[in-house]
Amino acid sequence: MSRCDFKIVLLGSEHVGKTSLVLRFVNCRFNSGTPYQNTIGAAFCAKTMQSNGKDLNIGIWDTAGSERYEAMTRMYYRGAHAAIICYDPCCAASWARLRHWLAELRTVEEDCKVYLCGTKKDLLDSNSTREVPEDIVATYSQGLNGHYLTSSKTGENVEELFQKIVDDCVADRELMRKVEESRVQLDKEQEKDKRYCLC
C-alpha cells in the first residue's frame, strides 16, 4: 500500500482493548489466549475500504494507553482525520480518563472527527456490571461524531464503526479535495521516480 488516504488514531487507557479492536477489524481475529502486552508508543495497521464507490486506504495508529508513554504518543495524533477514543463500560476509571484523551487530541488536531467506542460489549451482554451509566455516555457523545458499543471477541459493531468513519470522511468535501490532491502529487512523484530509475 503506497499511500494512506485517511489517518485514524486510537486513544484510551491501557487494558480497554484498543489493540484487540484493531486486530478484529484488520485481521478478523480475536486472540483470547494471548497474554496481555502493553503497546509501546504506537502500532500501525492499514486496510483498504470502500465508500461511495471509491477504494480508500486507511492507516490506523493504535497508541499506547500507559501514562509513561503519553509524551511519545502525542506525536501520532498529528495529521489524524479521525480518532476513536475507547473506554470499557465495566471500568469507571477508563471513562474518567476520557476527557483527558480528548483534550490531548484537541491540542494537536482541533478539527479531527472523534468517535467514542465502548469496548467489550460481550462482557456487558454476559451480565458483567456496568460502571459507566448509559445516560452519561449519551450526553457526552452528543458533541462528537458518534458512539459505538463493540465487541472484539464477537466482532459486533467493529466493521460498522470503521465504515461510519470512512463514510464521514468521504462526505467531507474539503478533506476529499485534499485526498485527491495528495493522490495526484503521489502519482507525479512515482512517475518521476520511474523516469530516473537506473535499474
The whole-number mean pLDDT for each consecutive block of 10 residues of the chain, a chain of 199 residues, reads: 83 90 89 56 83 93 66 79 96 91 91 96 89 94 95 95 97 93 81 60
Asked, for residue 144, whether it belongs to a domain, the answer is yes
Give the separation between CA 180 and CA 115, rounded to whole angstroms.
24
Does 143 reside within a domain? yes
| Alpha carbon distance 117, 140 (integer Å) | 12
What pLDDT does residue 187 have? 74
Find the domain containing 81 and state its range. Answer: 6-172
pLDDT at 99: 87
196 assigned to some structural domain: no
Is residue 193 one of the residues assigned to a domain? no
Q: For residue 198, is it within any domain?
A: no
What are residue 164's phi and psi, to 5 degrees?
-60, -40
Q: Are strands 54-63 and 146-149 parallel, antiparallel or unpaired?
A: unpaired
Residue 197 belongs to some domain of the structure: no
pLDDT of residue 132: 94
Ramachandran class of 146: left when φ > 0, alpha when ψ lies in -120 to 50, beta otherwise: left
**Residue 111 within a domain:** yes
Written as nine digits, the cell of 94 is 477508563
CA distance linking residue 105 with residue 108, whole number of Å: 5
- Number of structural domains found in the chain: 1
Write the CATH number for 68. 3.40.50.300
The answer to whether residue 125 sits within a structural domain is yes
The per-residue pLDDT for 185 is 84
How confident is the model at residue 1, as a pLDDT? 46
Contacts (Cβ under 8 Å, ≥6 apart) of 100: none
